[in-house]
């Protein structure tokens, strides 16, 4: 098991954001799970360019659907990041093996995913009033670094 939670993008649509998430995965050691359908091909030049030379340093798995992701992580707690949540992401005591789940831009996670029985909790990242949302990879960065900080930056420097 990895020493940090994994990051999951549900139906990501923007290749550059996913490329940046690949870099984030490589920098933190977090596994990156992508749930289909993807809004791009994995060999998309913009995905490769955004990920720079980090593709070989990251661990990425593409899942056919949300249930396939859940089957691959049967014991994981799943935290769904949504602007609709009342609980703040820093109020969670993260554990290795957790899944930090983010929805596509610009819609976020759909109600069916948020209501899935495997969702442990819904959490949000605070923002000023009147703002819709953060970029998906910015949100994932904020969350994974908080989780990694709580876990003592295991294996980091």
**pLDDT, tens digit (0-9, with 9 covering 90-100), for 71-110:** 999 999 999 999 999 999 999 999 999 999 999 988 999 9
What global pTM score does this model have?
0.92
| 157 falls within a domain | no
Residue 141 inside a domain? The answer is: yes
Total number of domains in the chain: 1
User: Would you state the pLDDT for residue 65?
Assistant: 97
Cis peptide before 115, with omega less than 30 degrees from 0? no
Query: What's the confidence (pLDDT) of residue 15?
Result: 86
In angstroms, the CA 111 to CA 20 distance is: 26
Q: Residue 155: inside a domain, yes or no?
A: no
Q: Confirm whether 98 is domain-assigned.
A: yes
Cβ atoms of residues 144 and 28 within 8 Å:
yes
What pLDDT does residue 144 have?
A: 98
How confident is the model over 11-22, as a mean pLDDT?
90
Task: Look at residue 50 and tell me if it is in a domain.
Answer: yes
Three-state secondary structure of 46-91? HHHHHHCCCHHHCCEEEECCHHHHHHHCCCCCEEEECCCCCEEHHH
Domain residue limits at 124: 6-150
User: How do residues 128-156 score in pLDDT, each as one tens digit?
Assistant: 999 888 999 999 999 999 999 999 997 76
Here the CATH number for the domain that contains residue 106 is: 3.40.1280.10
156 found inside a domain? no
In a domain, 106, yes or no: yes
């Amino acid at each position: 098991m990895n020493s940090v939670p994994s990051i999951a993008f549900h139906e990501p649509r923007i290749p550059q954001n996913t490329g940046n998430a690949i870099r984030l995965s490589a920098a933190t050691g977090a596994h990156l799970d992508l749930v289909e359908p993807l809004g791009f091909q994995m060999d998309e030049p913009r995905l490769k360019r955004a990920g720079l030379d980090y593709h070989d340093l990251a661990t990425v798995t593409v899942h056919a659907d949300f249930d396939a992701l859940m089957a691959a992580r049967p014991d994981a707690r799943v935290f769904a990041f949504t602007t609709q949540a009342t609980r703040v992401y820093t109020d969670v005591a993260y554990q290795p093996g957790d899944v930090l789940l983010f929805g596509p831009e610009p819609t976020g996670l759909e109600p069916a995913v948020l209501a899935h029985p495997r969702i442990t909790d819904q959490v949000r990242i605070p923002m000023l009033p009147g703002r819709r949302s953060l970029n998906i990879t910015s949100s994932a960065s904020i969350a994974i670094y908080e989780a990694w900080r709580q876990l003592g930056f295991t294996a980091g420097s």
